[in-house]
Amino acid sequence: MVNERVNIRDKHGSTKRVAKVLLVVFSIILVLLIVFAAGYLLKKPTYVEVFLVNPIGELVVANTNAEGVVNVPAVIEQAVIEFDSDYINYILAALGTGYLHKSILGGNPFLELVLEDETWHAEIIKGMPNSALGSIDDEDLRITLSKEEAVKAILSEDVGQFMKDSYSSGNLGIDMVANKAELFAKGYLDMYKELTGEEISVE
């Protein structure tokens, strides 16, 4: 009959419904990723305690007389000669590598240290510095100081405070090589603030 209703099925209807469902799912996943990333980047700085044995301990004992007086110049002279990766690791831990961590993209922090005629580099894994002799091309931060200043820091009662004073007096240099967003993602800005007292905003 002419009055009968005719149902015409849209052959693309099911495809449109699937597309809408996928769009909703994708949107939810995207929102969750953004929230996760924001939470990761904006969380309060965490600090991993790093405990290392003082590499100059045996030298101090060897240069201490019967009265308990340490021959500091002799210790410094010998320590500068014997300078190795243990010294670098100890210094870096004192500088605050416990603040450093992988970025959200998964890259570990890398630092370069220039000590007069030698260049060292270190990869930080879960706050622990692992250093080796030689320069690298993709460092995040470069630290410059003399071996003697480094040895004096290790000999000091408070290495962290010695480093802060060393930075203030110009005996310790810090150059940010990576962009600020990358430095922020790896925890360097917290480390930098703790060392220098200066706040750096991410542009």
Q: Is 52 inside any structural domain? A: no
pLDDT tens-digit readout, 68-82: 899 999 999 999 999
Check whether 57 has a pLDDT greater than 60. yes
Q: Is 11 inside any structural domain? A: no
pLDDT band at 35 (very low <50, low <70, confident <90, very high): low
Given a contact cutoff of 8 angstroms between Cβ atoms, the answer to whether 121 and 131 are in contact is: yes
pLDDT tens-digit readout, 95-150: 888 889 988 877 899 999 999 889 999 999 988 999 999 999 889 999 999 999 99
pLDDT at site 105? 73
25 compared with 35, residue with greater pLDDT: 25
Q: Is 191 inside any structural domain? A: yes
pLDDT tens-digit readout, 152-161: 999 998 888 8
Domain with residue 155: its CATH number is: 3.30.1050
pLDDT at site 2? 52
Q: Is 171 inside any structural domain? A: yes
**H-assigned helices in 43-119:** 57-62, 72-81, 85-95
Element (H, E) at 160: helix 159-168
Report how far residue 131's alpha carbon sits from residue 146's, in angstroms, rounded to the nearest whole number. Answer: 17
Q: What are phi and psi of 173, to 5 degrees?
A: -110, 140
Given a contact cutoff of 8 angstroms between Cβ atoms, the answer to whether 147 and 80 are in contact is: yes
Q: Is 8 inside any structural domain? A: no
CA nearest to 60, candidates 43, 45, 73, 47: 73
Q: Is 147 inside any structural domain? A: yes
List the domain range (segments joined by +) for residue 171.
57-196
Query: In total, how many domains does the chain have?
Result: 1
Query: Which residues are registered as beta bridge partners of 54?
Result: none
Q: Residue 10 contacts by C-beta under 8 Å, 6 or more apart in sequence?
A: 16
Q: Is 36 inside any structural domain? A: no
pLDDT tens-digit readout, 6-17: 454 555 567 777
Report how far residue 148's alpha carbon sits from residue 76's, in angstroms, rounded to the nearest whole number. Answer: 7
Q: Is 164 inside any structural domain? A: yes
